[in-house]
């Protein structure tokens, strides 16, 4: 793969987006400019997907999906922290809402779409059961400890944690995620690779080092551009949510959806190409990175600042979390996927979105 194989639009999209970001102070009040930012956001997301796939093809699995998951999580943390620090007490639950939304989007939305698309095109698809079990085990532990347990502590009224509890939760989340990455990339790497897979591009020559480095640089430019565009669009998003009479938690859903869109598109493309193993690596890895890295980072910032942080889920969200973990453990329990599993996950995701908008 040479430099000529890099599509021109994947270079132009982030450059035009950054030009718009620079020009934003002059044209921010224009509704036409806001619409342009939304179009550029979509283009930059698609460009990010392309460059992520180039890097993933070069480094191989599961490192490729891990790179994208880590990059997107850094962006998610930056968005959450900037929104929370600027929003004051009204945004104390934004980290919780965004992390929970990320889990719902990845484990139900992305997984559901991938299983449905893969099942429609290939009837059945196989994946490594051991890898899915490892990911779900860690996800269940972190999500319950970080998002459910705070409601039952007595040092601070739920859903708050004391500074020591918040620090401990951050350390535990980081330890569990670090252990998962060690298992995924070193100790049991074979758990996340499917022997005998027949992806459409497995025989394609890997990109050169030069092309890979260019794509990696453009991926970072795209991801930071996505964050900047999302921040510029955030007042319009919050205004739309408020005008629609929807709860503030919907803002967290929108943030998570914007940040996870590149991974969602990459996972869907992999499923259509009969690489559902890559799809699941992306989806479950994103969910783990989202909570395993975001919780420690946000916890550290708020412990140092001495500010309160709301982490405990409300009853309705707790039910959705438990249902997601239960259904995921059963639907991914046989190492084969069909459209039925995809439909079940999508129904849960649709229910989550509906009850978030209409509580």
Summarised one tens digit per residue, pLDDT across range 15-27 is 999 999 999 888 8
pLDDT for the residue numbered 175: 94
Binned at pLDDT 50, 70 and 90, residue 179 comes out as very high
Question: What percentage of residues in the chain have a pLDDT greater than 90?
Answer: 32
pLDDT for the residue numbered 261: 82
Dig out the tokens for 39 from the structure: 């179009």
Query: Are 321 and 143 contacting, i.e. CB atoms less than 8 angstroms apart?
Result: yes
Report the distance separating Cα 114 and Cα 132, nearest Å: 15
Binned at pLDDT 50, 70 and 90, residue 120 comes out as very high
pLDDT of residue 171 exceeding 80, the answer is yes
Which of 77, 70, 41 lies closest to 225 in space, CA to CA?
41
Please provide the average confidence, as pLDDT, over all residues in the chain.
85
pLDDT for the residue numbered 199: 46
Core vs surface per residue 265-293: b (16+ CB within 10 A) or e: bbbbbbbbbbbbbbbbbbbbbbbbbbbbb
pLDDT of residue 346 exceeding 90, the answer is yes
pLDDT for the residue numbered 75: 73
pLDDT for the residue numbered 200: 45
pLDDT tens digit sequence for 4-59: 678 899 999 999 999 999 998 888 778 888 889 889 988 888 888 788 778 877 88
Q: List C-alpha distances in Å: 35 to 28, 192, 239.
A: 11, 40, 15
Query: Are 109 and 281 contacting, i.e. CB atoms less than 8 angstroms apart?
Result: no
pLDDT for the residue numbered 153: 78
User: Phi and psi of 312, rounded to 5°?
Assistant: -65, 135
Handedness of CA 115, 294, 359, 329 (dihedral sign): positive
> Which of the given ranges, 3-7, 115-119, 230-234, has the highest pLDDT on average?
115-119
pTM of the model: 0.83
pLDDT for the residue numbered 27: 81
């Amino acid at each position: 793969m040479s430099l000529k194989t890099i599509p021109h639009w994947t270079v132009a999209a982030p450059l035009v987006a950054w030009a718009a970001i620079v020009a934003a102070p002059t044209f921010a009040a224009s509704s036409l400019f806001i619409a342009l930012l939304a179009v550029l956001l979509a283009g930059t997301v698609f460009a990010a997907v392309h460059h992520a796939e180039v890097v993933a093809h070069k480094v191989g699995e599961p490192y490729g999906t891990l790179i994208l998951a880590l990059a997107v999580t850094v962006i998610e943390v930056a968005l959450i922290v900037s929104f929370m620090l600027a929003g004051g007490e009204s945004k104390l639950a934004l980290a919780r809402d965004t992390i929970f939304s990320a889990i719902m989007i990845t484990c139900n939305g992305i997984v559901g779409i991938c299983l449905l698309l893969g099942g429609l095109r290939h009837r059945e698809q196989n994946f490594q059961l051991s890898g899915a079990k490892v990911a779900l085990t860690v996800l269940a532990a972190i999500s319950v400890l970080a998002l459910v347990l705070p409601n039952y502590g007595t040092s601070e009224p739920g859903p708050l944690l004391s500074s020591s509890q918040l620090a401990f939760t951050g350390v535990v989340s980081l330890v569990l995620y670090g252990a998962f990455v060690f298992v995924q990339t070193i100790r049991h790497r074979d758990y996340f690779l499917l022997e005998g897979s027949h992806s459409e591009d497995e025989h394609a020559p890997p990109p050169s080092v030069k092309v890979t480095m260019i794509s990696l640089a453009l991926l970072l430019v795209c991801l930071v551009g996505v964050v900047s565009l999302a921040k510029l669009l955030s007042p319009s998003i919050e205004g739309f949510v408020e005008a629609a009479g929807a709860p503030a938690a919907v803002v967290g859903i929108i943030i998570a959806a914007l940040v996870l869109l590149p991974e969602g598109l990459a996972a869907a493309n992999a499923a259509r190409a009969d690489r559902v193993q890559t799809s699941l690596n992306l989806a479950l890895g994103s969910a783990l990175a989202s909570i395993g890295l975001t919780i420690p980072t946000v916890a550290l910032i708020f412990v140092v600042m001495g500010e309160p942080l709301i982490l405990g889920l409300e009853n309705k969200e707790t039910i959705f979390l438990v249902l997601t973990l239960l259904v995921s453990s059963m639907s991914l329990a046989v190492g084969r996927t069909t459209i039925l599993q995809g439909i079940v996950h999508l129904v849960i995701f649709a229910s989550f979105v509906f009850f978030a908008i209409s509580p």
